[in-house]
Amino acid sequence: MDTASAPPRALRLRLRHLRDRLLVALCLVALALAVIPLVWVLWEVVGVGVRHVSWEFLTTLPQPPTVGGGGWANAIVGSVVVVGMAMVMGVPVGVATGIYMSEYGDNLLGKSARFLSEVLAGLPSIVAGIVAYGLIVVTMGRFSAVSGSAALALLFIPIVAITTQEALKMVPGHQREASFALGVSEAATTLRVVLPAAMGNVLTGVMIATARIAGETAPLLFTAFNSRYWMEGVDRPTATIPVNIYSYAISPFEHWHQQAWAGALVLLAMVLALNVAARTLWARRARFMAGD
Amino acid sequence: MAEQMITRDLKVSFGDHQAVKGVDMEIRPRAVTAIIGPSGCGKTTFLRALNRMHDHTPSARVSGEVLLGDRDIYGDGVDPVELRIRVGMVFQRPNPFPTMSIRDNITFAPKRHGLAKGKALDDLVERVLRQAALWDEVKDRLGASAVGLSGGQQQRLCIARALAVEPRVLLMDEPASALDPTATQRIEDLIYELKKDYTIVIVTHNMQQAARVSDYTAFFYMGLLVEFGETDGLFTNPREERTEAYITGRFG
C-alpha cells in the first residue's frame, strides 16, 4: 500500500485530538455564556436582597413611602394562597390530562390535547390574565385572589400535562405488560404501576410549573390586583410578591426599591424551599426504587 | 387445575405483515410444551396470542380460535383481563414492579382480584415464594425493594407473582435468556416442578433447554408450525427436513 499520499498516522491522530479538544472548548464557552448570567442574577438578588430582608419586612403590612419601614407580610401570604389555589386547581387537571395523552391518547382527542397543551404552554402570560379577567373578574364584578389563581392555573396545567405525559412515556412498556399479564385492568395498571413509577418526574414537572407561576406578574395585574391590607377572602383582591416587586421597583422611592429586592429574595427562597421539601420527601421512595 | 389449550387456524398480523400464518396446535395440560425456531419465526407472537397480549398493540389482528378448556378466548363475552388471571405470563427480562416491595409485587394482583386478604394473603405469599424456590432467600426481607434482588431472583419473583393469581396455564417467553447458567438451571428445575400443577408453554432460543425441560416441542418457521410432537421424537428423529436442519444447527 502507498503510504506516501496519506498524512502519516501520527499527524492524523494529533489532528483528531485537536478537533476533539476544540469541540470541548466550544461547549465550555457555550456553558459559560448560559451560566454566567444565571449566577449573576442569583448573586445580585441574594447579595442585595439579604441586606434588606428583616423580621419587620416578613411580618408587617406595607407603609406609605413617606412613613418608611413596613413589610410585605400580606403579599407573602397572598402569593402562597394564590399559587396554592392554582396548584389545587392545576395538579389534578394537568396530571389527568397527561395520563390521558400518554396512556389513552392514541386518537384524535389525544392528538388535539397534545397540540393544545403545546400551544397553551407557549401562551403569553398576560393573555391568561385577560382570559381570567374576562371570565371571572367581570362576572364577579371585582378583582379576586381566585381569579389570579385561575389565570396562573391556565399557565400551570399545560406544563404539568406535557411533563406528566413525558414522564409516563418513559415508564418501560414491560411494566404495563407485567401488570396486564396478571389480569390487572388498564385503569389499575395506570394508577398503581405506571404513575408510581413515573412519580419522580411528574413531581419535577409540578415543581418547574410552580416555579414558573410563582414569579408571574402580568396575569395577576388585573385579576388578583393588589391590596395594602391582609387578604379578606379568596373572592377579594390581594397583594402578591411579583406584583409588589413590579410596583415597588417602578416607584421613585429608594426605600421601596430596597424592599423590591428583599421581595425578590423571599420569592426565590420560597420556590427553593418548596423544591427542596418535595425532593426530600421523594428521596426515600427513590432510594427504595433503586433497590436499597 | 391445569387446562389444555387448542389453537385452530390461529393467525396474527401486524399491519401488512403476517407473523403467524394459521397454526393448529394442542397444548397438553400438566406438561411442558416448548416452542423453538429461528428469530422472527413467530414463536413469541404465537405465545402472546394465547393470553391476548396483542390486544394492547393497535396494529395487531388476530383470527382463528384459541380454546382454553372448551371456550374460545377470542369469543364474545370473554374479558381479556379475566382471561389473564387464568393464563399467566413470564417475560424474557425479569420485570418486577420497582415501586413495590417483594411482598407487594406478589400481593398486588391477588388483592385486586379479591383472592385473599389478611392471614390468607401472608400464606399465599409464602406458598408461591416456596413454589418458586425463593422463600428461603427473601423471607427475612419481604418489605425490601424487589429491584435489590439479583436477576435470577427477580425472575423467580416474577414466576411467584404469576402463580399468585392461581393460573391454569403459564406462558414463558424465553424466561432464562437474560440469566447466567446457574440461575438458568434453577429456572429449569422450577419449570420441571411446576408442570405437575400447571400447563406450561415455553418459548426458547436454546434447543438444549427445550430438550431438557419439555415434554412436547413445536418447531416454528416463517410463521408456520412445521413440526410438533414429543420432544424426544422431534429431536432424535425429526420428520421434516427443515426441523432437522434447524436442530442440527444448519440455519437459524
| Residues of chain B scoring pLDDT < 50 | none
Give residue A253's pLDDT. 92
Give residue B1's pLDDT. 66
Give residue B101's pLDDT. 94
Nearest to A259 by CA among A41, A74, A64, A53: A53
Contact residues on chain B for A175, CB-CB shorter than 8 A: 95, 97-98
Closest-CA distance, B165 to chain A, in angstroms, reads 7
What residue numbers bound the domain in which B203 lies? 5-99+168-247
Give residue B168's pLDDT. 93
Give residue A292's pLDDT. 63
Report how far residue A55's alpha carbon sits from residue A266's, in angstroms, rounded to the nearest whole number: 12
Contact residues on chain B for A172, CB-CB shorter than 8 A: 95
Give residue A111's pLDDT. 95
**Would you state the CATH architecture of domain A74-240?**
Orthogonal Bundle (1.10)
Report yes or no: A102 and A168 within 8 Å, Cβ to Cβ. yes
Test A183 with B81 for CB contact under 8 angstroms: yes
* pLDDT tens digits for range A80-103: 999 999 999 999 999 999 999 999
Number of helices (H), then strands (E), belonging to chain A: the values are: 13, 0
ipTM entry: 0.92
* pLDDT tens digits for range B99-138: 999 999 999 999 999 888 889 999 999 999 999 989 999 9
Report how far residue A257's alpha carbon sits from residue B220's, in angstroms, rounded to the nearest whole number: 79
Number of domains in chain B: 1
Report yes or no: A265 and A273 within 8 Å, Cβ to Cβ. no
B51, B82, B98: residue with CB nearest A197: B98
Number of helices (H), then strands (E), belonging to chain B: the values are: 10, 10
Report how far residue A243's alpha carbon sits from residue A76's, in angstroms, rounded to the nearest whole number: 11
B81, B95, B165: residue with CB nearest A175: B95
Give residue A97's pLDDT. 97
- What is the chain B residue with the closest CA to A198? B99
3-state DSSP: chain B helix, strand, coil percent, rounded to 5?
40, 25, 35
Mutate to test the interface with A, among B52, B54, B81 (most CBs of A within 10 A): B81
User: Is A184 strand, coil or helix?
Assistant: coil
> CA dihedral in degrees (A42, A45, A46, A51; nearest 10)?
170
pLDDT digits (tens), chain A, 292 positions? 555 566 788 889 999 999 999 999 999 999 999 999 999 999 999 999 999 999 999 999 999 888 888 899 999 999 999 999 999 999 999 999 999 999 998 899 999 999 999 999 999 999 999 999 999 999 999 999 999 999 999 999 999 999 999 999 999 999 999 999 999 999 999 999 999 999 999 999 999 999 999 999 999 999 999 999 999 888 999 999 999 999 999 999 999 999 999 999 999 999 999 988 888 888 877 888 776 6
Counting Cβ atoms within 10 Å, is residue B21 exposed (0-12), middle (13-18) or buried (19+)? Answer: middle
Give residue A59's pLDDT. 94
Report how far residue A154's alpha carbon sits from residue A123's, in angstroms, rounded to the nearest whole number: 9
Give residue A67's pLDDT. 85
Residues, chain B, total?
252
Give residue A2's pLDDT. 52
Tell me whether residue B109 is in a domain: no
* pLDDT tens digits for range B66-94: 999 889 999 998 999 999 999 999 999 99
Q: At what angle do helices A241-249 and A73-99 cross, to 10 degrees?
A: 130
Test A182 with B108 for CB contact under 8 angstroms: yes
Test B93 with A174 for CB contact under 8 angstroms: yes
B99, B109, B148: residue with CB nearest A182: B109
Contact residues on chain B for A104, CB-CB shorter than 8 A: none
Classify residue A70 by its DSSP letter: B
Q: Where exactly are the structural domains of chain A?
A: 74-240
Give residue A5's pLDDT. 61
B97, B148, B165: residue with CB nearest A193: B97
Query: Which distant-in-sequence residues (6+ apart) come within 8 Å of B3 by Cβ?
Result: B29, B68, B69, B86, B168, B169, B199
Report yes or no: A31 and A233 within 8 Å, Cβ to Cβ. no
CATH of the domain at B93: 3.40.50.300
Chain A residues within 8 Å of chain B (Cβ atoms) = 106, 172, 174-185, 188, 192-193, 196-197, 199, 285, 288-292
Give residue A108's pLDDT. 95
Give residue A6's pLDDT. 66
